[in-house]
Amino acid sequence: MAEKLIGQDIAPPDLETKVTGRARFAEDFRAEGMVFAKLLLSPMPHARVRRIDASRALRMPGVLGILTADDLPDPEPPSERPLTNEPLYVGEPILALAAVDETTAADAIEQIEVDLETLPFVLDPLESLRPSGPNARLEGNTFVDGEVTTVKWTEADYAAAGEDELPMGEYTSDWSIGDLDAGFAEADLVLEETVVHQSLTHHPLEPRSCMAYWQNGKLHLFGSTQSTARTHSALADMLDLELDDVVFVGQYCGGGFGSKIAGSPIMAVPALLSRTLGRPVMLRITRYEENYIGRARPAQQARIRMGWRKDGKVTAIDLYMVQDHGPYGSSGDHQAASAIASLMYQPHAMRFRGVSIYTNTPPRSAQRQPGGGQIAPMLEPLMDKAARELGIDRVEMRRVNAPDHDSTFGPGESKLTTAYVREAIDIGAERFGWSEKTRLSGRRDGTKLTGIGVGLSAFVGGSFGYDGLVVIRPDGDLYIHQGTGNLGTHSFADTARAAADVLGMPWDRCHVIWGDTAEHLPWSSYQAGSQTAHAHSRANHAAGNDAKRKLQEIAARDLGGSPEAYETGDGRVFRRSNPTQGMSFAQAARRAIELGGAYSGQELPDDIHEMTVASAQGLAGRGLIGVAKDNYTRENGPWSFMMGFALVEVDAETGEVEIKEYTGVADCGTVLHPRGVAAQIHGGAVQGFGMARSQKWVFDPKWGVPFAYRLYTARPPGILDGPLTMDWAAVSEPDPQNPVGAKGIGEPPLGAGAAAITSAIADALGGTCLCRTPLTTDVILAELEGREQPYAKLDTHV
Q: What is the binding site for another protein (CB under 8 A)?
A: 38-41, 43, 102-103, 106-107, 109-114, 286-289, 447, 653-656, 693-694, 698-703, 705, 707, 710-713, 715, 717-721, 776-778, 781-782, 785, 787-788, 790-791, 798
Provide the minimum distance between the beta carbon of 779 and another protein in the complex, in angstroms, as a whole number.
8
- 286 C-beta neighbours (distance < 10 Å), count: 12
Provide the minimum distance between the beta carbon of 53 and another protein in the complex, in angstroms, as a whole number.
10
Pairing relationship of beta strands 510-514 and 478-482 according to DSSP bridges: parallel
Provide the minimum distance between the beta carbon of 719 and another protein in the complex, in angstroms, as a whole number.
7
What sign results for the dihedral spanned by CA atoms 230, 234, 235, 236? positive
Of 310 and 787, which CB lies nearer to another protein in the complex structure?
787
Of 146 and 786, which CB lies nearer to another protein in the complex structure?
786
Provide the minimum distance between the beta carbon of 136 and another protein in the complex, in angstroms, as a whole number.
19
- 175 C-beta neighbours (distance < 10 Å), count: 16
Provide the minimum distance between the beta carbon of 253 and another protein in the complex, in angstroms, as a whole number.
21
Phi, psi of 57 (to 5 degrees): -65, -45
Of 622 and 696, which CB lies nearer to another protein in the complex structure?
696
Provide the minimum distance between the beta carbon of 38 and another protein in the complex, in angstroms, as a whole number.
6
Q: With helix as H, strand as E and coil as C, how does 327-351 read? A: CCCCCCHHHHHHHHHHHHHCCCEEE
Q: CB neighbours of 88 closer than 8 A, spacing ≥ 6? A: 45, 46, 136, 137, 327, 328, 358, 360
- CA distances to 491, 633, 640 from 637, rounded to whole Å, are 20, 11, 10
Of 310 and 710, which CB lies nearer to another protein in the complex structure?
710
DSSP summary character for residue 134 = P
Provide the minimum distance between the beta carbon of 149 and another protein in the complex, in angstroms, as a whole number.
30
In sequence order, what DSSP letters do the residues of 482-541 get, joined into one string? E-S--SSSSHHHHTHHHHHHHHT--GGGEEEEESBGGG-------S-TT-HHHHHHHHHH
What sign results for the dihedral spanned by CA atoms 459, 460, 462, 463? negative
Provide the minimum distance between the beta carbon of 195 and another protein in the complex, in angstroms, as a whole number.
20
Provide the minimum distance between the beta carbon of 718 and another protein in the complex, in angstroms, as a whole number.
4
Provide the minimum distance between the beta carbon of 32 and another protein in the complex, in angstroms, as a whole number.
24
Looking at 340-413, which runs of residues are DSSP E strands? 349-357, 408-409
CA distance 765 to 779: 12
Burial class (CB in 10 A: 0-12, 13-18, 19+), 146: exposed
Phi, psi of 529 (to 5 degrees): 60, 30
Degrees to nearest 5, angle at CA 79 with 77 and 81: 115
Note whether 557 and 488 are within 8 A (CB).
Answer: no
Of 216 and 712, which CB lies nearer to another protein in the complex structure?
712
Of 620 and 659, which CB lies nearer to another protein in the complex structure?
659
Of 663 and 694, which CB lies nearer to another protein in the complex structure?
694
CA distance 610 to 624: 20
Provide the minimum distance between the beta carbon of 175 and another protein in the complex, in angstroms, as a whole number.
37
Of 220 and 693, which CB lies nearer to another protein in the complex structure?
693
**What residue type is assigned to position 12 of the chain?**
P
CA distance 386 to 314: 10
Of 111 and 407, which CB lies nearer to another protein in the complex structure?
111
Of 199 and 342, which CB lies nearer to another protein in the complex structure?
199
